Amino acid sequence: MIATTAPHQYFWRRGASIIVGDVPPTQFDLSPECLGWAQLARYRWDVAAAVLRRPGEPGYGFRGAPGGRVEMIELVDDGPGERILYAADATVMECFVFTVVGDDVRDDLDLPYLEFPSGPADIAPHYHLGEGVNGSRTLFRRDSPVAATPGDHANLSALVPLSHCLGYSLDELKQSFLHQGGAPLLRGGRYAPRK
């Protein structure tokens, strides 16, 4: 059953099942732009299994949910994997995938790792973090849930940068990950103000 007492409760799941009643999962596919970015980092996309992986790595699984929501799971060799992000829609998920893949692109190009500020005070304007509930935290844009992650530290390191990345096009994000210092997203190790 879907909990409806607060907007962030749409994101929670119990065990391996998303709380959506008897509704089966929906198909999720990467856009050509996101797929091209992933291929630059040697990822392969299995659309039938909804799995994105590099050679020799377990990779990431994706599961669509009612209302266009998407869940990303870090796969492991000896178990069901662990949810790392639950996104309100495919646009949010692709933005997050761009950041995950971006780290691998930089590594392959011998560019330095980008440090994204991820403290609560670093959140982008118009966004805020909900209180931690059952070990998860939700990112909101105004009053609408955008994404949720499990874990205390992990959720800040994913949600705070995501709040900024959502203000950029995928092309601008690509430029940022290919730039030595992370511009236009970062300037001097901090998030660059948007004009």
pLDDT reported for residue 125? 96
Q: What is the pLDDT of residues 130-147, one digit of tens each?
A: 988 888 899 999 999 999
Domain span holding position 98? 7-191
pLDDT reported for residue 26? 67
pTM of this structure: 0.85
pLDDT reported for residue 44? 97
Q: What's the gap between Cα 187 and its chain centre?
A: 22
2 in any annotated domain:
no
Residues 6+ apart with CB under 8 A from 104: 41, 42, 43, 54
pLDDT reported for residue 17? 31
Which tokens in the block code for residue 165?
């990345």
pLDDT reported for residue 21? 37
In angstroms, rounded to a whole number, what is the distance separating the alpha carbons of residues 107 and 114? Answer: 10
Cβ 123 vs Cβ 160: under 8 Å: yes
Give the number of domains in the chain: 1
* Sites in the chain below the pLDDT cut of 50: 1-23
pLDDT reported for residue 153? 59
Phi, psi of 32 (to 5 degrees): -55, -35
1 in any annotated domain:
no
pLDDT reported for residue 2? 27
Q: What is the pLDDT of residues 84-93, one digit of tens each?
A: 999 999 999 9
Helix, coil or strand: residue 185: coil
In angstroms, rounded to a whole number, what is the distance separating the alpha carbons of residues 42 and 70? Answer: 23
Q: Which long-range contacts (CB under 8 A, 24 or more apart) does 58-63 make?
A: 60/84, 60/97, 60/100, 62/28, 62/93, 63/18, 63/25, 63/28
pLDDT reported for residue 13? 37
pLDDT reported for residue 22? 41
pLDDT reported for residue 138? 94
123 in any annotated domain:
yes
95 in any annotated domain:
yes
Which alpha helices (H) appear in 55-169, and where do they start and end? 90-108, 152-165
69 in any annotated domain:
yes
pLDDT reported for residue 111? 97
pLDDT reported for residue 16? 32
